[in-house]
Amino acid sequence: MIDPAWGPVTEDRLTRDYTIVQRRRGHRFSSDDMVTAFVACRRAPAARTVLDLGCGIGSVLLHLAWSFPAATLTGIEAQAISFALLTENVRRNLLEGRVTIHHGDLRELRVGAYDLVTGTPPYFPPDTAVGAQDEQRAYARIEYRGGIEAYVAAGAAALADNGSLVLCGDARAEHRLAAAASEAAVHVVARTAIVAHAPKPALFSVWTLSRTPAPLAEEELVLRDAAGHTTADAAMLRQFSGF
């Protein structure tokens, strides 16, 4: 499809029942979104109030709406084109009744306490990455509006006393996450490292933070083995999405 404002777009299956409209040459959902939703659902299976920070086109937000059919959800996204696509994706999946979205900076959101807060911050500081030619892709990859520190601070402020904050980021940014968690008075209690292709090191990690300290629970998911074949972990994630 060709949209006058967005250019070439596709409508793709996000879960068994939900689809997502995304620009063919813009920011598109990927495995980090799926793993973030997967970890969040395992961590807070009874969540009834959910907040997704910097929700982009809605990949994690919609997946959580599908996984938690009784929950009410809130999302916030600053970039205009991503917010327009997010609005369309909420509408197409008939979610207006229980999904509320805001166009703005996540640091300015003033909301209540949530059972579950999620976020997938950009991975790269502006001085360490070459900007993508497409503006939407660039803002999704590069920390023009702040990185994982901003997500930790905003997430901690919105978290219920017994809530869980689940964030995805560059696996090499764990020291930044730890410093931000200390500043925000929350604790890293779990880490899921994601290996895209064995035996390469983890490409990204999904961390769980809580107001209550606990011994760190660690796991690793491998999506492709050394021969390039999809793994049982990858199949598990597809099953999680209803495929």
Instruction: Note the pLDDT tens digit of each residue in 2-28.
Output: 878 889 999 999 999 999 999 999 999
Which residue intervals of the chain are DSSP H helices?
31-43, 59-67, 80-92, 135-141, 148-158, 174-184, 232-240
Interstrand relation of 19-23 and 7-13 (parallel, antiparallel or unpaired)? antiparallel
Which residue intervals of 19-160 are DSSP H helices?
31-43, 59-67, 80-92, 135-141, 148-158
Per-residue confidence (pLDDT) for residue 49, from 0 to 100: 97
Note the pTM of the prediction, 2 decimals.
Answer: 0.94
Domains, the chain:
30-240 (3.40.50.150)
Question: What is the pLDDT averaged over residues 193-202?
Answer: 94
CB 76 within 8 A of CB 102: yes
pLDDT band at 75 (very low <50, low <70, confident <90, very high): very high
pLDDT band at 130 (very low <50, low <70, confident <90, very high): low
Average pLDDT of the chain to the nearest whole number? 94
Per-residue confidence (pLDDT) for residue 131, from 0 to 100: 58
Instruction: Note the pLDDT tens digit of each residue in 133-182.
Output: 788 888 888 888 889 999 999 999 999 999 999 999 999 999 999 999 99
Q: Please say if the pLDDT value at position 39 is more than 70.
A: yes
Q: Please say if the pLDDT value at position 124 is more than 90.
A: no
Reduce the DSSP state of residue 95 to 3 states and report it.
coil
Instruction: Note the pLDDT tens digit of each residue in 101-117.
Output: 999 999 888 777 999 99
Q: Please say if the pLDDT value at position 129 is more than 80.
A: no
